[in-house]
A and B are shown apart, each in its own frame.
Chain A
């Protein structure tokens, strides 16, 4: 009797152990590890992939991602097609409306994705996400949240970005400032500008220290650095003292450099990289996305110093100067499948591959844009560059501006009035209250 019980117990525990091991093994095969998404190499088909990355840096970078995915998905043929930035989404809309000619995969603007999904431009990836058990926790939370429309994802987050301050260390040193400690607050920035501005005899400027509207930056970032929260309970708020103070601060910079038209004239002397104002020495500090780092690496600009020497420019990165708290924000893009695409299964395999860790690390390495996949963002290869660690830390102070379904373009009401503020055609109070009224009215109409 005792012997039988012992045997039974032993067998039962053996079975339990086997079951446990089996369960564990299916877990590691079926679900995605942090940053690794399962691919199905059996799927075949042609995938037409539209993107707008035509610059020397990014064209080759996306080709590398495509090549990597081709290696892992031998039965799929991916054709990457460059479409100009001003044309790619309108061409896609026309193709979707005509129900033919749309790509299988397209790079979509993550910030507009819920609006575009509501219009029916992209198809829901909800079923495929569930079937492949994609873990949303693999991505930065805000990047995943912004892909959702009615609870389903309409694109896998691909790249995101973060806005930081690029500054010219050579010039800072020459002016007697500490190149390792750039201005961190608005006051320090204003004081530093006294040392960095170079004025001509006729009153125009040869070089300006900083301009809040130069670079990949707008009122929204500065208002957030002044502690303002733009969307409260789904309602955009622009008529607020924090925003008014921000506009006043920006106006001080405009007046410092001779007024709006004078500043425009100054900036119009410069063009695209490598002749942009920062690389050509016209502006000492510039807020731009981390990706600007890759462009600086590509062009290796020179710094023009007062003594006539032109050493290689040594640039530094830091957080955008703040008044209340450091802030930055992140845009980004997803890989989405337009409605009616011919090969959605093959498209999905390619999207998974490109959005997974190897694809995102390859992309980030070339372009310095931030992977939406957190594990990819902290990949040791990327972290080997000390600047990269700073970019990832900067993501931590990133502020999310929630999507407003009733009026996704609401910021246009503020942007369209700014110029009359800069030229003193309207006061800040008028502009903000008008903008707020228009936003509220439009949202009311669209409820």
Chain B
């Protein structure tokens, strides 16, 4: 129960002349700040903002990136939403991945971070080991995992030891995405470290106070640890969702680009993810139009709107469950 300071701050009354000088200094300070930020602002404008706006323009055109864009109005968007079954399949696959992978990653990272925070011997070594996969090259690791998750590979051999017959991970349409989830759980090192840092930032006094009142281990976790970690959880959930929406590398390596004899998207189109589909549209491996950069731009902007909507919903919901120490609630 913190008391709020409600008295108003003393207001500085100054003569008009002095106020003008005051604001010029403010203006100069502001200007200096912007000048220092200018290199980044220029880079942002040229390499991020301008391409984004140009792609918004091309999403309304037919554009093969080599010639000039040809205005089409809303035709790309119409075709995507009403005539494109692969778009729906891509959305389905991507949403599945987001909904399944995010909680698994968060819970796994949190569990490992809590274990690492127990101050047992060897903590430093385990911390390094947990982070090590993030340092490895993504593509090489994906090839490695394809072998580990082969029907007669290491993973299934391990499952057989406990009497479970492992599925055909990357050839059975029902198991390809779970296979990807298994593979990505190898890369939670970054999330673990972020959680670990936050865990170490929780004041010990809270735990001591709880112990005095007779709190059990689980009560301490539920009423102290988790709420104090909620800003970190929120951050990780948002970034994990945004990242998972953009999944590409793993799909590209495992399912491959479409070819003459290869249908796009792996077994049962189960690995047809949104950005992967976008890429194949852009470079003409799918569909009738050769290079379809305009169509791909429209796809990109639809994805942007979807991610924006999802993030806004999370921000609104955050007020209910995210506890910030400085809020004074």
Contacts and interface: CB of A to CB of B under 8 A. Distances in A.
Contacts of B258: 412
Nearest to A340: B66
Interface string A89-114: 11001101100000000000001000
Interface string B47-88: 000000000000000001111000000000000000000000
Nearest to B287: A409
A116 B151 contact: no
Interface in A297-342: 331, 339
A172 to B, nearest CB: 27
A269 B267 contact: no
B65 A407 contact: no
A389 interface: no
A415 B263 contact: yes
B327 interface: no
Given A119-B291, A409-B287, A415 B168 contact: no
A418 interface: yes
Contact of A268 (B168, B283, B284): B168
Contact of B288 (A90, A264, A408, A415): A408
B170 A268 contact: yes
A411 B262 CA distance: 10
Contact of A409 (B150, B172, B269, B286): B286
B171 A265 contact: yes
Contacts of A120: 64, 66-67
A26 B152 CA distance: 68
Interface string B282-313: 01111111110000000000000000000000
B257 interface: yes
B158 interface: no
Contact of A119 (B173, B256, B264, B284): B284
B268 interface: yes
Contacts of B261: 216-218, 415
A82 to B, nearest CB: 16
A419 B290 contact: no
B182 to A, nearest CB: 16
Given A406-B288, A409-B287, A446-B289, A418 B168 contact: no
A89 B65 CA distance: 14
Nearest to A338: B66
A261 interface: yes
Interface of B is mostly: loop
Nearest to A446: B288
Contacts of B263: 412, 415-416, 418-419
A265 B264 CA distance: 19
B273 interface: no
A261 B176 CA distance: 12
A264 B65 contact: no
A119 B288 CA distance: 12
B145 interface: no
A267 B267 CA distance: 14
A215 to B, nearest CB: 10
B187 interface: no
Interface in A216-235: 216-218
A416 B264 contact: yes
Contacts of B252: 86
A143 to B, nearest CB: 16
A378 interface: no
A115 interface: yes
Interface in A396-423: 406-412, 415-416, 418-420, 423
B66 to A, nearest CB: 4
A442 B291 CA distance: 16
A407 B284 CA distance: 11
Contacts of A268: 150-152, 168, 170-171
Shortest 9 CB-CB distances between A and B: which pairs? A264-B171, A218-B261, A97-B65, A407-B288, A415-B263, A120-B66, A265-B168, A119-B290, A416-B263
Interface of A: 86, 89-90, 93-94, 96-97, 111, 115-116, 118-121, 216-218, 261, 264-265, 267-269, 271, 331, 339, 406-412, 415-416, 418-420, 423, 442-443, 445-446
26 contacts: A86-B252, A86-B257, A90-B283, A93-B291, A97-B65, A115-B284, A115-B290, A119-B66, A119-B284, A120-B64, A218-B261, A261-B168, A264-B168, A265-B151, A265-B172, A267-B171, A268-B150, A269-B150, A271-B147, A339-B66, A409-B285, A409-B288, A411-B260, A415-B261, A419-B268, A419-B269
